Amino acid sequence: MLKNVDMFSTTLMTDDFKGYKPFKGIIPHHTVNHSRKEYVNGIAHTNTIESFWTIFKREIKGQFHFVSPKYLSGYLDEFCWRFNSKGSEFMFEKLINNCVR
């Protein structure tokens, strides 16, 4: 499960959902308690991931209109790459270089 996680630079920031408890003690984990109307707790917040899902849903409705569950992971892969590359110089050049390797 954690083979794709950089254990030295990852910090998990979540809401208070109990499903995240197994990560406590494995990687740094900070929470906010949405059920108590807490949205920021020190450095912990979920604004970035909530923004990601909002933009992704808008993209699906506005550009693709419909996504089959069969291809959803591909759309998510593409969107993650674009989200993580926004504001990056030479984004197209980096994409081409990654494809050629």
pTM for the predicted model, two decimal places: 0.67
pLDDT values of the chain reduced to their tens digit, one per residue, 101 residues: 567 778 888 889 999 899 988 888 888 999 999 999 999 999 999 998 999 999 999 988 888 788 889 999 998 998 888 888 888 888 788 888 878 86
Quick one: pLDDT at residue 62?
86
Domain regions of the chain by residue span: 12-45, 57-100
CB of 94 closer than 8 Å to CB of 82:
no
